[in-house]
Amino acid sequence: MEAYRYDKSFELYDRANEVVPCGLYGHLGVGRARLNPMGCYPLFSDHAEGTYIWDVDGNRFIDYACAYGPNALGYQDPDVDAAALRQREKGNCTTVVSPVMIECAEKLVETLNCADWAFFAKNGGDVTTLAVMTARHATGRKKIIMMEHGYHGVYQWCQKPGTPGVLDEEICNNLYVPFNDFDAIEKMVKDHPGEIAGILSMPYDHISHYDNVLPKEDYWPKVRKLCDDHGIVLIIDDVRAGFRMDLAGSDHYFGIKADLLTLGKAIANGWNMAALVGRKEMRDAVEDMNYTGSYWLSAVPLAASVATLTKMKEIDATGIMRKTGEKLISGLKQVADANKVNLSTTGLPSLFKIILKDPDESMIPHQEWIGEMVRRGVYISHFHNMFTNTAMTDQDLQYTFDNADETLKMIIKKYPQILL
């Protein structure tokens, strides 16, 4: 397989850098080691379809980043996009709201186990923020227990201490505990009697740069009971994992019912929408909120979401994504075993994390391996968990295995110390 060139991407990056801070920011930028090794990733895409993206240099990639989650049914899914375009002809951002809002709320209530109501916004961060405000208002308390490696967006309250522009006062009511450590949560609750408004956590630890961690078997039921015993609101942040583990919610997957569940990303297959859903006991608190945005009830993404949720159920998208993930992980493991290297595969198959281990734990061979795969058409992040979607075929998986095998051999030649 020949390595791709990114001449146009780099040219465009220089142009972007003239007028956009960092050229590209966040996890899409080249700064802060996000896209290591430098030069292995395309920076601008031309178009996308199914599971593929084509960059501006004409290179095609099987995209395991899935737009970092939204792409669940394939880019440009014909059913979802037809529903969106039908609504587009009628109107999108209008003074008076379209009844498609009700249809979408009904769909979410029908689909998500903990949902008695739904509230719409745009980004995951909009609804994690609303969830925390709701927990505080519902309990009259200030403090939120959060997981050390949790990610809930970029609003001030959920930034890490020391982040430029974030005041200590904005995060002083966050209490951090390690994920999966029930005793630490219980101690935190005991140490702050009557002060904890909510516990906020992703359903499992999708930690960047490290292996992902699934909850111990009794972890979530114990957390649920602790919340019930102390009147604490349990918020599960399902923005990333939502619909990939269980259509009825990741809380349902782990045998519990959250009080509030945040959704985004896959909820509209890439059309911009997020939602907070919750139990009826939480409804009064949300009703008191002054919380909205100019585009939050735009009709096109709501129509796209109805079509997405309908199709996901019809085709058992969650099951397809899981099975594809299982095949992918087992194939990559076989490639690693045949080459006598240690590939760790963690998380759930539809939201998998892979790390090529080396005895020095330097991550350099891992990053270079991932970089070489990307340069040959398999888009994987070296630090983030990845995703499957329902458009991936066995042929795509086979290409991925062949690519992984060829590039692994290159890396072993350069770093023979990774051999078992």
Ligand X SMILES: Cc1ncc(COP(=O)(O)O)c(C=O)c1O
Contact set with ligand X (CB under 6 A): 68, 123-125, 128, 151-153, 202, 237, 239-240, 264
For 14-48, letters b (16+ CB in 10 Å) and e give eebeeeeeebbeeeebbeeebbbbeebbbbbbeeb
Smaller CB separation from ligand X, 117 or 155: 155
Name which of 43 and 202 has its Cβ closer to ligand X. 202
Is residue 252 within 8 A of residue 239, CB to CB? The reply is no
Residue 211 is classified by DSSP as -
Instruction: Please enumerate in sequence order all residues whose Cβ is within 8 A of that of 127, keeping only pairs 6 or more positions apart, or say none.
Output: 119, 121, 239, 262, 263, 264, 274, 275, 276
User: For residues 347 and 377, which CB has a smaller minimum distance to ligand X in the complex?
Assistant: 347
**CB neighbours of residue 217 within 10 Å:** 10
| DSSP bridge partners of 275 | 120, 263
Phi, psi of 122 (to 5 degrees): -115, -55
State which residue, 122 or 357, has the beta carbon closest to ligand X. Answer: 122
CA neighbours closer than 13 Å in the CB half-sphere of residue 53: 18
Fill in the amino acid letter for 3: A
Task: State the Cα–Cα distance between residues 331 and 336, nearest whole angstrom.
Answer: 9
Q: How far apart are the C-alpha atoms of 256 and 416, rounded to whole Å?
A: 46
- Least distance in angstroms from the C-beta of 335 to ligand X: 28
Q: Closest approach of Cβ 194 to ligand X, in Å?
A: 28
- Tell me whether residue 188 or residue 202 sits nearer to ligand X (CB atom): 202
The least CB distance from residue 123 to ligand X, in Å, is 3
The CB-of-199 to ligand X minimum distance in angstroms stands at 15
Nearer to ligand X, 67 or 105 (CB): 67
Question: At closest approach, how far in Å is the CB of 125 from ligand X?
Answer: 3
Nearer to ligand X, 42 or 203 (CB): 203
Beta bridge partners of residue 226, listed in sequence order: none
Query: Do residues 399 and 377 lie in contact, with contact meaning Cβ atoms separated by under 8 Å?
Result: yes
Nearer to ligand X, 237 or 259 (CB): 237
Q: How far is the CB of 11 from ligand X (least distance, A)?
A: 28
Q: How far is the CB of 405 from ligand X (least distance, A)?
A: 31
Give every CB contact of residue 64 below 8 A, 6+ residues apart in sequence: 378, 379, 380, 386, 387, 388, 400
Cα atoms in the 13 Å half-sphere on the side-chain side of 185: 25
Alpha-carbon distance 296 to 118, whole Å?
A: 13
Residue number, 276 or 343, with CB nearest to ligand X:
276
Least distance to ligand X from the beta carbon of 410, Å? Answer: 31
Shortest distance, position 321 Cβ to ligand X, whole Å: 16
Enter the tokens of residue 54. Answer: 């084509």
> Residue number with the shortest CB distance to ligand X?
124
Between 147 and 197, CB nearer to ligand X: 147
Token digits of residue 258: 């959250």
Least distance (Å) from ligand X to the CB of residue 349?
Answer: 18
